[in-house]
Chain A
Amino acid sequence: MMGVLVILPLLIPLFAAIFCLLSWKNINGQRMIVLAGSFLLLVGSAFLLREVWLHGIQVMQIGNWPAPFGITLVADLLSAGLLLTTSLLGIFVFIFSIPNINLERKEYGFYPILMFLLFGISGALLAGDIFNLYVWFEVMLMSSFVLLSLGGTKNQLEGSVKYLVINFLASSIFLAGIGVIYGLTGSLNMAQISLLLPEIADKGLVTLAAIFFLVGFGIKAGLFPLFFWLPAAYHTPPSAITAIIGGLLTKVGVYVLVRFFTLIFFSEVPYLQPYLFVIAGLTMFVGVFGAIAQNDFRKILSFSIISQIGYMIMGLAIHTPLAIAAVVYFIIHNMLVKTNLFLISGVVYAAAGSFKLKKLGSIYAKFPFIAFLFIISAFSLTGVPPLSGFWAKFLLIKAAVASNYFIIVGVALVVSALSIIYITKIWNEVFWKKAPDGEGSEKIFYNQTSFLRLNRLLILPVVLLTIIIVAMGFYAEPFLDFSVQAAEQLFNRDNYIKVILRK
């Protein structure tokens, strides 16, 4: 009964969250529960990935109702791989949050909400029918609303209102799209929709549904011109929360777009392709220019999320197996690197007491080790060989050249070069320049060793993530192999349908 493995990534965080709620007053107890929960989640998703790798797509029909009627959970290589990345980041951010999140936030339920967030993400990755996907997205968004506004500072509340309103709008559009699909096919199961949709005579309505999903998830993923909520909200909460939300949520939106446009709306891709290319190019450009203009460590990183999302949409638009493989590799690479950079901004905050570039400085002189950790992730983000970002961009550009899309290749390369500007800006302002007099003097640690020893729980996840990022670049072969296999599986629609519908 291997189907149990598919539901474990949902049950573990759910029960961890429930146990946390039961021991509401006992913060240390909650910490142990979350530690156990996120560790079990990591083990569970690793076993799931192994099972999918060895034996193909894993399916669980809830309550043993056969496929088109019941609720289906599906784990293929893409969702199992992203699930493993998510649970890895979950445990790292949890370790980071122990010193980073203050006691007041923990007393008001930081730990259970963190588990509910992982619960929602796992569900969204494993959902096999579109309405279930909507419900999991709402679980995930509700948790992220609470995490963003937890603590209730003025900036957080302001960012949360924008985030909540625009995401509610996006969910409504998504729900309307579900309505159109159900009206056309009479089914909610992704495999059956994939089977029935090509037979629909009214192609206009299929395109309409595709546009509904593109706009709904475009808002959630932060595509041009729907991204304005992202930099307004993501930099307001403490670094641990920014890291998990900024690292994961937009990528789950991209995951759904990849899933929908390879499984369900594959026949719409030729029609939408020119628009997707324009959106991808503009998303890259606007993101990178926005990042260059900002003067806040985390706002630069928020805009750079948008720029990176553009690359993923570029791969989706090219829509060959190689391009989708590049997208899979890019999503995993970007989840790790972006989370790590947000965590490093939190370490810098612990050392110097600010996120404002104007107030920071001298980090390289005082803490060369932090600067070293930053530069590895930053180089990986911009795509310096042989780090992970290089392979991601290399594969994408290889796929684009192979399909003769030279304009988007030019745009991607120019944006990649421009991204060096904002990384240089952070490097100059935060690490290199002399710290302004009298800024953050009460938080200065004069000795790097004492800082590292006092903040070892902040440093540990950053070091571990950096090791993984370096490994992903230097030993890219297994990761690339995985991405290629995942893309092949995504394009092998008949197999997906056969496994789920047992036909």
Chain B
Amino acid sequence: MDEILPFVVGILYAASLYLMLQRNFVKLIIGLIMMGHSTNLFLFSVSRLTRGAPALVDGDAEKLTGIFADPVPQALILTAIVIGFGIQAFAIVLIKRNYDVAGTDDMDKLNTTDKINAA
């Protein structure tokens, strides 16, 4: 797994950036979601993968010994997933409203606020 995960993360990053650069709203949303996933997997992989060794202290031991899975990145990922979920949910509603108001799903048409003499 240690060898595969970096490639998975890289491909996910590349795919999400590719999707975010598309003009379609739906692809933008999928790109945002995949960007969140790739960052979470990246955080997961920095702690080195340890299989079948949870960070549990035995009944009478004082502290952990030997090899154990680092629990901190897992806690970070849980937090990041929740935050990312909130932002993605908001983004979907915002983009839906935008589609209703602007009547288009083409990002290239969303340039009125960039124009110097905007209406």
Contacts and interface: CB of A to CB of B under 8 A. Distances in A.
Contacts of A236: 113
- Nearest first, the 6 closest Cβ-Cβ pairs linking A and B are A183-B46, A179-B43, A179-B46, A172-B39, A157-B98, A138-B83
A186 B20 CA distance: 32
11 contacts: A138-B83, A142-B86, A152-B101, A159-B113, A172-B39, A175-B39, A179-B43, A182-B47, A183-B46, A235-B113, A293-B116
A481 interface: no
A426 to B, nearest CB: 15
Interface string A283-304: 0000000000111100000000
A186 B101 CA distance: 48
Contacts of A235: 113
Contacts of A39: none
A295 B97 contact: no
Interface in B81-101: 83, 86-87, 90-91, 94-95, 97-98, 101
A470 to B, nearest CB: 34
A235 B112 CA distance: 12
B26 interface: no
A186 B79 CA distance: 18
Contacts of A141: 87
Contacts of A169: 20, 35
Secondary structure of the A side of the interface? helix
Contacts of B95: 161
B79 A135 contact: yes
Contacts of B46: 179-180, 182-183
Contacts of B28: 165
A142 B87 contact: yes
Contacts of B32: 165, 168
Given A142-B90, A169-B20, A179-B42, A131 B76 contact: yes
Contact of A168 (B72, B91, B112, B118): B91
Nearest to A293: B116
A161 B20 contact: no
Given A135-B83, A158-B102, A161-B94, A295 B112 contact: no
B116 A154 contact: no
A152 B97 contact: yes
Contacts of B72: 182, 188
A233 B79 contact: no
B65 interface: no
Contacts of B79: 131, 135
Nearest to A137: B83
A149 interface: yes
Dominant secondary structure of chain B at its interface with chain A:
helix
Interface of B: 20, 28, 32, 35-36, 38-39, 42-43, 46-47, 70, 72-73, 76, 79-80, 83, 86-87, 90-91, 94-95, 97-98, 101-102, 110, 112-114, 116-118
Contacts of B90: 142, 145-146, 164
Nearest to B101: A154
A160 interface: yes
Nearest to A175: B39
Interface of A: 131, 134-135, 138, 141-142, 145-146, 149, 152-155, 157-162, 164-165, 168-169, 172, 175-176, 178-180, 182-183, 186, 188, 228, 231-233, 235-236, 293-296
Contacts of B97: 149, 152, 157
Given A146-B90, A161-B98, 6 more contacts: A152-B97, A158-B110, A169-B35, A176-B43, A179-B39, A182-B76
A182 B86 CA distance: 24
Contacts of A146: 90
B27 to A, nearest CB: 12
B76 A157 contact: no
A378 B104 CA distance: 40
A154 B80 contact: no
A296 B118 contact: yes
Given A131-B76, A168-B91, A294 B116 contact: yes
B112 to A, nearest CB: 6
Contacts of B102: 154, 157-158
Contact of B98 (A138, A158, A176, A231): A158
Contacts of B42: 176, 179
B112 A155 contact: yes
Contacts of B101: 152-154, 157
B58 to A, nearest CB: 20
Contacts of A157: 94, 97-98, 101-102
Nearest to B35: A172
A182 B75 CA distance: 13
Nearest to B32: A168
Given A145-B90, A161-B98, A296-B118, A175 B113 contact: no
Contacts of A165: 20, 28, 32, 91
